[in-house]
Every structure is written in structure tokens, then in C-alpha cells.
Amino acid sequence: MLRTWKLTLEVDPSSTVPLFVQVARAVVRDIERGRLSPGDALPGTRALSRSLGVHRNTVDAAYRELIHQGWASAEPSRGTFVSTALPVAAPKGFGGTPRQRMPARPGFPFPQEEVAPERVAPPPRGTLEFNDGAPDVRLAPSMALARAFRRVLTSRARTTLGVGDARGEPGLREALAGMLSRTRGLAAGADDVLVTRGSQMALFLVARALIRPGDVVAVEALGYRPAWDALRLAGARLVGLPVDAQGVKVDALQALLAKQPVRAVYVTPHHQYPTTVTLTAARRMALLRLAAEARVAVVEDDYDHEFHYEGRPVLPLASSDRAGCVVYVGSLSKLVAPGLRLGYVVAPAPLVSALAALRMVVDRQGDAPLERAVSELLQEGELQRHARKARREYLVRRDALVEALRGELGGSVDFEIPAGGLALWARVDEALDTADWVARAASHGVRVAPGRSFALEGRGPSAFRLGFASLTPQELREAVHRLALARPRRR
């Protein structure tokens, strides 16, 4: 399909440069910087002359000059197009030299942060990916969400499309507070809730509000790198706490507190990321006691609370917090789909106000139509029904992965069946080279995340995190089969 150029340029009638040359130069500049591509259609002379306020003959002269210089071509009865036969060295014309694309480096000094965006090439077509535990977008209640969007945009367009509250839509905050009270034991009201564009924004805002450069923040030594990045950008000095089969080791935090002040601790107690273990009751109590005594903020990331398969979900730390130390972070993106960017923070109201003030600096408000639509789905029980349906399906997928691993890789990986969450932590036989296995797996059409991806420092454990939610049982069996075919020889 041919693209029609949307012209945005100005001409200066007082300039000594003829108007037709000004128009032609503007077109050349946009070709040189890649805004116009070979084959793109240029506007008709009548439309362009009207938008620029010049005579049609001026535009016609500019187009003739472009054609003469080799930048454009005319096709009878169709119009004028950017030439598809431009030479490798762009032609020079109109008394100037060709402009380059955006410079590779800035021409001024600036402080480069330690955190750089991770660039992961898209996998080849047909690749099966064990992601970090993302939900399956094919299960998302897209039709119900579309109907809710339509309702809020037609019946409440004036308020929905206007300036909103930086804390989030009041209806959604009220609905979230009610849901968290009923299902997670949090005694929170709407004023204690801040809605964000995904939990990553929530973590970023919390880090900026709590941390000052040089502050020590304790984190799980195996954990969630994007959260660490948010903390580091705020100036935190991260110290790792060991994780075992009972979750993060709270006695290690106690030992750290005996040596130096600690500003905050970041934990994933329900389904520890990435190992999926649940923090025991004894350690929960000890962590809350330590936090209250030392006045340490506990940032609790409860990223996939809805998905628990064995018994009842464990209530968050925040439900037992009486000292106001816990900052609770959650997400609706895991419940619905990654592209639906909705997270939230639950904390004492003064902190919520501080977070809202920070949020206004980078994002005046959230996505009001989305927030209102999701609020309706919560109030109508649609998301709750979706959660029950998705939980049943993900349990089937977990069991399919377990069966496939036992059948194909029983002697090469060891694991505990996760009681909840959307991924499985598989420990790899030390006699197998995990890095080699990952590389070989990619050549067999399966992508897997190794243990080193989750280590704060060092090489990390010999393990895989196998997200199962986004793959069907059949896809899971095929992915494990490919992983088995890629298995390296023992060292």
C-alpha cells in the first residue's frame, strides 16, 4: 500500500530563495532523513498549494525540479512519487549537500546511566518461547473489554477524555480497594491506591519516592532485574539476600541491619521470582517485625497473586502490616494481558500523594478510558470470572509441562511443582553446560531463560525459568521435545 505524505513545512515569502525551491528542498530533506521512502506518494499539487498558501504553479515547479534532479517520478493519471531508483549516493541539488540521518552520538555531554535497555531480537517464525511467566493473550477477555470501552467512550466521553486524577480513575481505585479487601485482606480505601501504567511504573515511582543516592536496598539475590534497575536509577546500592526453599533468608537481612542502615527491602514473597517458592509464615512474621523495629520500607511485589493452584493463596505481607512499613505493588497485566498496562500501589495515603506528585512529572495521568473500562469489568465481575477460567487453564498447562519434563528430561532437570504462578523453576544437572544448552535450544526453535538472567551478581545458578502460561499443552510438549533434542552432552 502506498503511503501518502502528511506535509509539515513552512515557506518564507520574504526569503530570497524562490518559493518553489523552498518546497523542493523540504521534500529532499525528508527523503534524506528517511521520513519519506522510495515509492511514497507526494500530495497532489492542488492540495499542497492550498495547505501552504502558495500558487499551484509554485508546487508544480517544485515537483518538476524534483523530477529533474532524480528525487521524484511522475506517473500519468496517478501522481508524483518519491523515486524508487535513487542512486546509492543521494543526488545533490538546489545548491546544498545531502543531510544525514540522525547522528549516531549526541553533540553534547550527558550522564549515561548504568541501566541500558535490553535489546532482544525477535525470535524466528515458529519459535516456541518459555517466557518469564506472561499470560496467554489468546485467553484475554477482549470482547468484554471492547464493549466496556465502547460504553465509556459513548456515554461518558466528556469526563473520560478530559483531564483526570494523577492517582488514577476514582472508580477503578475504589474497585481495586474493594477487591484487595475481599481477596487479599488489605484494609485499604481508594485514597490508599495509586493506579499506574503497569507494575514497572509503580516500582519506578516507589523507588524515586523512597530512595536517595547511596541508600542501601536489600533485594533477593535471585530476582527481578527490572525492579533492580528502577532502584539503581534512584541511586540505590543493592545488597543481595540469599533465597532457599523457604523464600528469602530474613536472618541475612537481620545481619545486614546490624552492620549498616537499610532504607528498603524488595521482595516477592507469594511466588518468589524466579524460583516460585512461597515465603514461610515464620519468615513473614520475622520480616515484618524487623521492618517495624528498624523502620525499613518493605516493597512487596505481588505480581501474580490470582494464580494459585494448591490450597488458598497466601495473604500478602501488607495484610498483616500494622506499622505502615509495607508498600504493596500489584498488576492487572498478568491477569489480562501484557499489553494492558495497569498496575497499582497500595500504601499509606501520604505516600500515595507523594507518588502521584512524582507521576505528574512524567505522566500527567493514566489512560482514563482504559481505567474506566476495566473498572466496569471489575464491578460487573467479568475480570473475576476471567481469573477463574484462566486459573483452570493454566493449571492444565502447568501439569502438561510437568508431565513433559518428566518424560523427556527426567534425568537432566529437577524441580518442585509450583503451587502457583505462571512459571516453573527447573534446576539443571551440573554436568550439563546451561549456556550451551540455551544456544543449542535456540537453533532447535525454542527459547529459554537461563538462571544467570536472574542473578544479582556472579554466574547465577544452573537453572531455567520455564513460563508455561502462554503456551498450550500441545505447544508445551513440543517445546520440551525441542529442548530435549538440544540437550548437550555431559561434561
Q: What is the 3-state secondary structure (H, E, C) of the chain?
A: CCCECCCCCCCCCCCCCCHHHHHHHHHHHHHHCCCCCCCCECCCHHHHHHHHCCCHHHHHHHHHHHHHHCCEEEECCCEEEECCCCCCCCCCECCECCCCCCCCCCCCCCCCCCCCCCCCCCCCCCCEEECCCCCCHHHCCHHHHHHHHHHHHHHCHHHHCCCCCCCCCHHHHHHHHHHHHHHHCCCCCHHHEEEECHHHHHHHHHHHHHCCCCCEEEEECECCHHHHHHHHHCCCEEEEECEECCEECHHHHHHHHHHCCCCEEEECCCCCCCCCCCCCHHHHHHHHHHHHHHCCEEEEECCCCCCECCCCCCCCHHHHCCCCCEEEEEECCCCCCCCCCCEEEECCHHHHHHHHHHHHHHCCCCCHHHHHHHHHHHHHCHHHHHHHHHHHHHHHHHHHHHHHHHHHHCCCEECCCCCECCEEEEEECCCCCHHHHHHHHHHCCEEEEEHHHHECCCCCCCEEEEECCCCCHHHHHHHHHHHHHCCCCCC
Across residues 18-24, what is the average pLDDT? 89
Whether residues 320 and 390 fall in one domain: no
User: Which domain, by its residues, includes 169?
Assistant: 140-382
Instruction: Estimate to the nearest angstrom the gap between the alpha carbon of 273 and the chain centroid.
Output: 16
Whether residues 342 and 476 fall in one domain: no
Across residues 438-466, what is the average pLDDT? 93
At residue 412, the pLDDT reads: 94
Asked if residue 236 belongs to a domain, the reply is yes
At residue 208, the pLDDT reads: 96
At residue 343, does pLDDT exceed 50? yes
At residue 433, does pLDDT exceed 90? yes
Write out the three cell numbers for 220: 533477593
Other Cβ atoms within 10 Å of 260 Cβ, number: 9
- Give the rounded percent of residues in the chain with a pLDDT score beyond 90: 62
Asked if residue 188 belongs to a domain, the reply is yes
Across residues 141-162, what is the average pLDDT? 81
CATH of the domain at 166: 3.40.640.10
CA distance 109 to 367: 35
Whether residues 350 and 314 fall in one domain: yes
Asked if residue 300 belongs to a domain, the reply is yes
CA distance 267 to 252: 13
Asked if residue 147 belongs to a domain, the reply is yes
Whether residues 179 and 223 fall in one domain: yes
Across residues 392-408, what is the average pLDDT? 96
Whether residues 32 and 153 fall in one domain: no
Whether residues 428 and 376 fall in one domain: no
Across residues 215-244, what is the average pLDDT? 96
At residue 9, does pLDDT exceed 80? no
At residue 98, does pLDDT exceed 50? no
Whether residues 370 and 442 fall in one domain: no
Least trusted range by pLDDT, from 80-84, 118-122, 152-156, 343-347: 118-122
Final residue of a structural domain among 361, 382, 403: 382
CATH of the domain at 453: 3.90.1150.10
Asked if residue 122 belongs to a domain, the reply is no
Q: Which of 202, 194, 233 is nearest to 217 (CA)?
A: 233
Whether residues 355 and 396 fall in one domain: no
Whether residues 78 and 184 fall in one domain: no
At residue 363, the pLDDT reads: 86
At residue 216, the pLDDT reads: 97
At residue 94, does pLDDT exceed 90? no
- pLDDT tens per residue, range 39-79: 888 988 888 888 888 899 999 999 999 998 889 999 888 88
Asked if residue 117 belongs to a domain, the reply is no
Final residue of a structural domain among 350, 382, 414: 382
Final residue of a structural domain among 360, 382, 404: 382
Asked if residue 329 belongs to a domain, the reply is yes
Least trusted range by pLDDT, from 151-165, 175-189, 203-217, 279-293: 151-165
Whether residues 315 and 177 fall in one domain: yes
Strand partners, 330: 344
At residue 101, the pLDDT reads: 58
pTM of the model: 0.79
At residue 267, the pLDDT reads: 98
Residue 95 pLDDT class (50, 70, 90 cuts): very low
**Residue located via cell numbers 523530477:** 67
At residue 340, the pLDDT reads: 87
Residue 89 pLDDT class (50, 70, 90 cuts): very low
At residue 336, the pLDDT reads: 86
Backbone angles phi, psi at 474, to 5 degrees: -65, -45
CA distance 203 to 355: 10
Whether residues 255 and 303 fall in one domain: yes
- The sheet with strand 413-414 has its strands ordered as 128-130, 446-450, 463-467, 423-428, 413-414
At residue 91, does pLDDT exceed 90? no
Least trusted range by pLDDT, from 111-125, 302-316, 388-402, 426-440: 111-125
Asked if residue 220 belongs to a domain, the reply is yes
Residue 229 pLDDT class (50, 70, 90 cuts): very high
The mean pLDDT of the chain is: 88
Considering its fold, how many domains does the chain have in total?
3
At residue 422, the pLDDT reads: 95
Whether residues 293 and 367 fall in one domain: yes
CATH of the domain at 38: 1.10.10.10
